[in-house]
A and B are shown apart, each in its own frame.
Chain A
Amino acid sequence: MISAVDYIRILPELVLSVFGILVMIVDPLIPEQSPKRPLGMIALVGVLAGLAATAYQVGFYGDAFFHSVQVNTFSVFFHIVILLIALVVLLTSCEYLEVQKIRAGEYYGLILFGTVGMMLMTSAVELVLIFIALEISSISTYILAGMRRRVAESSESSLKYFLLGSFATAFFLYGVAMVYGATGSTNIYTIAHALRTQQSTLAYLAVGLMFVGLGFKVAAAPFHVWTPDVYEGSPAPVVALMSTGPKAAAFAVLLRVLFGTGAIGWFWIVWLAAILSMTLGNIGALVQQNVKRLLAYSSIAHAGYLLVAFAAGREVGISGAIFYTATYAAMNVGAFAVVSHLSGEGEKYVTIDDYAGLGRRSPPLAGILTIFLLSLIGIPATGGFFAKFYVFSAAFQSGLTGLVIIGVINSAIAAYYYLRIIVHMYMRDERTEAPVARIPATLGIGLAISLIATIYLGVLPGRLLEYALTSARDLVK
């Protein structure tokens, strides 16, 4: 039967849903002309309450709701990562929404509900629930992508994302149906039990189909074609969210599907997707002029590095992937927070040329962006270095030397386009009179959170890595 403990095990999701509904109720109470700041504050309080609820869950590990949700170190880790992403995105959005004149009520509501979906994806152990959570997270990002109602590209990106995303979800769902056909269940535990006794052809097909669906969500090649267009048209803070939050959640689901069930036969698919994502992502990024497009290709490449950890497998690979997800979230959200502040009204200033001379116009912003870009390259003393190091060493330990070599070559290529932005900021004269607005307090806090996380993971990665290892053990148990 359902007891109070069951509710504690979905407490963060419940809290965020309540605050999402609260935002929707308060929205019409605020007069049309007055600023919508209070809504942002409600959403922020909601995310903080969600973090508290997640911390409270630590004493209540176990299953809930007839084995559809599992709370353990793995789910708590991803909950905290996703909630912190949502926190920084909300802090970035407060200023952005006023500058771009985007309606705040639905925006904050959708971010909160989307976060609920992402969090459920990481704690669900029932494929039906994973599917519904995946849809919640996807549909809310489809809508958020189209929130710049005055810009045609935004509607274009929303529609493209929606059509291709629905197509990919169908693949995932078909995979779920195949799993049910192969094992007679949609529960991860039962599937794992059934696959231990016998593997069937249907199970191979199922894992392949689910990988196609999730590969789309994490923007892994060859399912990545939507990424640059969607990122270019969407509001910048939403890109910060969709390039990290749903990705982290989808990687968590992928970890569960591949390692939690003990499925086999996926190695070469993942291997191939890793190489394609790294190479196509980095080569595509070389020629981009638009910073949002450039970061879109960079996010494809990072999905590739993460898949290297998947191919490595075992506890080191899984913990490497978990660590990489957190680090990538910290630096990428930070980079997009800077981009959204610099973009100005109507996102006019988003090309690399607009960043010329930023080192003189706004030294703090240029400095912060430089740290995030250095971390994305993987320079020591930033989180990006250890993330790449753990992933590649895990792959090396599993004997995937070829994959490591391709990965390292790709990292070298990637250094070129990240450094190009830094060179533009410090060594080119400004061609535009693009004014840099003062950094508001909310954005400042958001940038500080991602900056501290990026540097902390680059200097003292030990504790988080240990935690990632524990989560990896909990996952395969």
Chain B
Amino acid sequence: MHLALFLIFAAVCVGGAINLLAQKHPINSALSLIVVMGSLAMIYLLLGAEFVAAVQVIVYAGAVMVLFVFVIMLLNAGVEERTPHASRVATLLGVPGLIIGLGISAWVVSRITGLDKIAIGGPSVMNGSDVFGNPQAVGQLLFRDYLLPFEVTSILILIAIMGAVVLARREE
């Protein structure tokens, strides 16, 4: 069962990544990227890393992708904007695919977080200590073992901002 679920989401993930490259319109590519991020989140969930999976959805599939789409819409007023970008495959498979994907995801989420057991009054599996990817374990790793890499990332972000300022400024 676990393997079958993994194969489904891995296939969706790789398919989304290939579609991302194959699409001509940037918005279509961005939407494919959401599929990739979403299925990656499900793979994390299958590995027992529910916190990472949630963060993946909130940060990547949510915040980062919104930013991507904004940037594309603001900057890409070029030829691509005027070309029609509806694909027939997407029209046919889009809604059924989405429903199936969400259905499987909902089932996995309810199984792994123990929501189904709570609903029928069984014991919850969410006691936290035996789970590898719970917030406590992630926090321990991030602020103990990987404290220095975590802090040094701030310099990386600082120079990235400096780079954006330097390269975007108009020279007179």
Nearest CB of B to A244, in Å: 19
Q: Report how many residues on chain A are interfacial, defined by Cβ distance under 8 Å.
A: 35
Query: How long is the Cα–Cα vector from A103 to B171 in the complex, in angstroms?
Result: 10
Interface residues of B in 133-172 (CB under 8 A from A): 144-149, 152-153, 155-156, 158-160, 162-163, 165-167, 169, 171
When distances are taken between beta carbons in the complex, the residues of chain B under 8 Å from A142 are: 163
When distances are taken between beta carbons in the complex, the residues of chain A under 8 Å from B146 are: 66, 68, 126, 128-129
Query: How long is the Cα–Cα vector from A132 to B146 in the complex, in angstroms?
Result: 12
Nearest CB of B to A144, in Å: 9
Query: How long is the Cα–Cα vector from A24 to B161 in the complex, in angstroms?
Result: 12
A306 within 8 A of B: no
Which of A66, A136, A140, A143 contacts B145, CB < 8 Å?
A66
The residues of A with any CB-CB pair to B shorter than 8 Å are 2, 10, 17, 24, 64-66, 68-69, 103, 106, 109-110, 113-114, 116-117, 120, 126, 128-129, 132-133, 135-136, 139-140, 142-143, 146-147, 149-150, 155, 158
Query: How long is the Cα–Cα vector from A454 to B20 in the complex, in angstroms?
Result: 52
User: In the complex, what residue of chain A is closest to B152 when comparing beta carbons?
Assistant: A132
Given contacts A103-B166, A114-B159, 17 further A-B contacts (CB under 8 A): A68-B145, A68-B149, A69-B148, A110-B159, A116-B155, A126-B146, A128-B149, A129-B148, A132-B153, A133-B152, A136-B155, A139-B160, A140-B159, A142-B163, A143-B162, A143-B166, A143-B167
Query: How long is the Cα–Cα vector from A386 to B146 in the complex, in angstroms?
Result: 41
Query: How long is the Cα–Cα vector from A149 to B167 in the complex, in angstroms?
Result: 8
Nearest CB of B to A103, in Å: 7
A149 and B159 form a contact (CB under 8 A): no
Nearest CB of B to A134, in Å: 10
A68 and B159 form a contact (CB under 8 A): no
Nearest CB of B to A472, in Å: 25
Known A17-B155, A136-B159, A143-B159; judge A68-B148 contact (CB<8 A). Answer: yes
B166 and A126 form a contact (CB under 8 A): no
16 examples of A-B residue contacts, CB within 8 angstroms: A17-B155, A24-B162, A64-B148, A66-B144, A66-B145, A68-B145, A68-B146, A68-B147, A110-B163, A126-B146, A126-B149, A139-B160, A140-B163, A143-B166, A146-B167, A158-B167
The residues of B with any CB-CB pair to A shorter than 8 Å are 144-149, 152-153, 155-156, 158-160, 162-163, 165-167, 169, 171
Known A106-B166, A109-B162, A143-B167; judge A120-B152 contact (CB<8 A). Answer: yes
When distances are taken between beta carbons in the complex, the residues of chain A under 8 Å from B171 are: 149-150
A-B interface, 4 closest residue pairs, ranked by CB to CB distance from nearest: A143-B163, A65-B148, A149-B171, A129-B149
User: In the complex, what residue of chain A is closest to B145 when comparing beta carbons?
Assistant: A66
When distances are taken between beta carbons in the complex, the residues of chain A under 8 Å from B155 are: 17, 113, 116-117, 136
When distances are taken between beta carbons in the complex, the residues of chain B under 8 Å from A68 are: 145-149
Nearest CB of B to A215, in Å: 22
Query: How long is the Cα–Cα vector from A110 to B167 in the complex, in angstroms?
Result: 13
User: In the complex, what residue of chain A is closest to B162 when comparing beta carbons?
Assistant: A106
Nearest CB of B to A80, in Å: 21
Which of A65, A103, A139, A146 contacts B147, CB < 8 Å?
A65
A132 and B149 form a contact (CB under 8 A): yes
Nearest CB of A to B122, in Å: 34
When distances are taken between beta carbons in the complex, the residues of chain B under 8 Å from A117 are: 155
Determine the main DSSP class of A at the interface with B.
helix
When distances are taken between beta carbons in the complex, the residues of chain A under 8 Å from B152 are: 120, 129, 132-133, 136
Nearest CB of A to B82, in Å: 26
When distances are taken between beta carbons in the complex, the residues of chain B under 8 Å from A116 are: 155
Known A132-B156, A136-B152, A150-B171; judge A66-B163 contact (CB<8 A). Answer: no
Query: How long is the Cα–Cα vector from A19 to B32 in the complex, in angstroms?
Result: 43
Query: How long is the Cα–Cα vector from A92 to B34 in the complex, in angstroms?
Result: 47
Query: How long is the Cα–Cα vector from A129 to B163 in the complex, in angstroms?
Result: 21
User: In the complex, what residue of chain B is closest to A6 when comparing beta carbons?
Assistant: B148
Query: How long is the Cα–Cα vector from A81 to B153 in the complex, in angstroms?
Result: 24
Nearest CB of B to A462, in Å: 36
User: In the complex, what residue of chain A is closest to B147 when comparing beta carbons?
Assistant: A65
B159 and A113 form a contact (CB under 8 A): yes
Query: How long is the Cα–Cα vector from A120 to B148 in the complex, in angstroms?
Result: 10
B167 and A139 form a contact (CB under 8 A): no
User: In the complex, what residue of chain A is closest to B164 when comparing beta carbons?
Assistant: A143
Query: How long is the Cα–Cα vector from A149 to B153 in the complex, in angstroms?
Result: 27
User: In the complex, what residue of chain A is closest to B163 when comparing beta carbons?
Assistant: A143
Nearest CB of B to A186, in Å: 9
Query: How long is the Cα–Cα vector from A116 to B166 in the complex, in angstroms?
Result: 20
Query: How long is the Cα–Cα vector from A69 to B146 in the complex, in angstroms?
Result: 11
B165 and A106 form a contact (CB under 8 A): yes
Nearest CB of B to A319, in Å: 28
Query: How long is the Cα–Cα vector from A160 to B163 in the complex, in angstroms?
Result: 15
Query: How long is the Cα–Cα vector from A146 to B162 in the complex, in angstroms?
Result: 13
B156 and A136 form a contact (CB under 8 A): yes
Nearest CB of B to A24, in Å: 8
When distances are taken between beta carbons in the complex, the residues of chain B under 8 Å from A69 are: 148
Which of B153, B158, B167 contacts A113, CB < 8 Å?
B158
When distances are taken between beta carbons in the complex, the residues of chain B under 8 Å from A113 are: 155, 158-159, 162
When distances are taken between beta carbons in the complex, the residues of chain B under 8 Å from A109 are: 162
When distances are taken between beta carbons in the complex, the residues of chain B under 8 Å from A103 are: 166
When distances are taken between beta carbons in the complex, the residues of chain A under 8 Å from B166 are: 103, 106, 110, 143, 146-147
When distances are taken between beta carbons in the complex, the residues of chain B under 8 Å from A146 are: 166-167
When distances are taken between beta carbons in the complex, the residues of chain A under 8 Å from B162 are: 24, 106, 109-110, 113, 143
Interface centre among B149, B158, B160 (most CB of A within 10 A): B149
Interface centre among A114, A143, A150, A155 (most CB of B within 10 A): A143
Known A116-B155, A143-B159; judge A10-B148 contact (CB<8 A). Answer: yes
Query: How long is the Cα–Cα vector from A129 to B148 in the complex, in angstroms?
Result: 7
Nearest CB of B to A138, in Å: 10
